[in-house]
Structure 1
């Protein structure tokens, strides 16, 4: 007798533009979580057609491929479909709560524990992207336990 497989946990990761932080978090959680998770990412704003080149390079240095990432804008339907929505910083979390509304049953929280933001490296030197990438990779284990 075979035991049915549990449905993967659906995680949505959101940052401001789905250009730097959330694309990497999506890839890290997906790669490390395997078939136990179904991960997607989105942003509050933005109209880019790929992940930021510096974040793509920082991700590659850690073994993650962002070359096929296509940014998306978050919707209420995306939030409703997820079991867990992870915001990269407090301002994103506040906006997600507004979008989700008071009747949401989806868990919304920060990506990092202890009420810490993942700093946005946008417009910063390459070293900031690398530091951000390492922080995102380290933080992923919080959600995969």
Structure 2
């Protein structure tokens, strides 16, 4: 597989995107791809810069053997469009914001996570106002999507 630099983006960078970052990093490590997959996460908003992920995201990740507690929220910026090969928004609103921020010529690096990963034109719902069961559903959705993403990246490199 050729190296890939992937940025996951959600609204605040405390629920969906840091969990996706942790899941993809773990799946890549399990498949022996940690040296060729670079992954990070960011938010389109600036409310949680420097904050750890939501405790519910940390907890669901921990239950699945993934530690995301050291991650810190940050806002997506113009340098990200050059630094990453693929910038995946968790929902349509994230993708629209990313397209507005993207310098000319970088729009092709932006996509909706589930559409790119598995061909499903579906948002990853924000679980922020929901309970623990929504975070478990989020984890399952991200794990399936990240597995598909790794397969797609591997096929693309072949």
Query: 1:44 aligns to what?
Result: 44
Within 1, Cα distance between the matches of 2:69 and 2:109? Answer: 29
Within 2, Cα distance between the matches of 1:141 and 1:76? Answer: 28
Among residues 127, 142, 145, which one is paired with 2:148 in the alignment?
142
Aligned with 1:137: secondary structure?
Answer: helix
CA RMSD of aligned residues (A): 1.6
Query: 1:128 aligns to what?
Result: 134
- Is 1:84 matched up with 2:86? yes
Structure with the larger helix share = 2
Structure 1: gaps (5+ residues): none
Moved more, 101-110 or 90-99: 101-110
Within 1, Cα distance between the matches of 2:110 and 2:149? Answer: 12
Contact 1:14 1:74 survives alignment (8 Å): yes
CA drift of 1:39 comes to 0.4
Q: Which deviations, in whole Å up to 9, do the C-alpha atoms of 1:51-101 show, x marking residues without a partner?
A: 000111111111111111111100011122110011100110010011004
TM-score under structure 2 length normalisation? 0.83
Structure 2: gaps (5+ residues): 29-33, 152-158
Change (3 A) 1:105 1:92: closer
Query: 1:35 aligns to what?
Result: 35
- Is 1:95 matched up with 2:101? no
Contact 2:8 2:20 survives alignment (8 Å): yes
Contact 2:14 2:73 survives alignment (8 Å): yes
Corresponding pairs, count: 140
Contact 1:79 1:106 survives alignment (8 Å): no
